[in-house]
Amino acid sequence: MDMEQMATELLRFMEALPRRAPQNWLGEFSKGELFILNYLHINGGTAWPSMMSEAMQTSTARIAAALNSLERKGWITREPSDEDRRRKLVHLTSKGTEYIESYRDKALKNITKLLMELGEEDAMEYLRITQRMVSIAHSFK
């Protein structure tokens, strides 16, 4: 089987995953509001929108739209900068912290179940391959 056939097969497998498959729980951390909440959570609860835009590799307008939604939900607040009132520092609220920690806990439980089902040898191989894929992905432009 050549690499393109393998890529096609992998894509087919990924498309067949149930929406709530453990792998999908991880993928959600790289999208939209969950990305922002998780980014704030792992970075001390505060960040500038431009930092999130760069980390997410998306426009500041897209970040602003997500921040508006998160603010309406009470999961973040924005505070004007002392140096430049046009810039706003984003803060994770206790309600936002509670939500992202709950989501992270559920994801961890689901991933743990997946790894247990794989067994130690396959789980170690899965982690090794995933680490290698992350390393390779960082070399893409």
Q: What is the pTM of this model?
A: 0.79
Residue that wins the pLDDT comparison between 86 and 123:
123
pLDDT at 18: 77
Q: Cα–Cα distances in Å, from 21 out to 6, 16, 66, 101, 140?
A: 21, 10, 25, 19, 27
- Mean pLDDT for 47-58 is 92
pLDDT at 1: 77
Highest-confidence segment of 29-33, 90-94, 125-129: 90-94
What is the CATH code for 21-137?
1.10.10.10
Lowest mean pLDDT segment, chosen from 17-21, 46-50, 73-77: 17-21
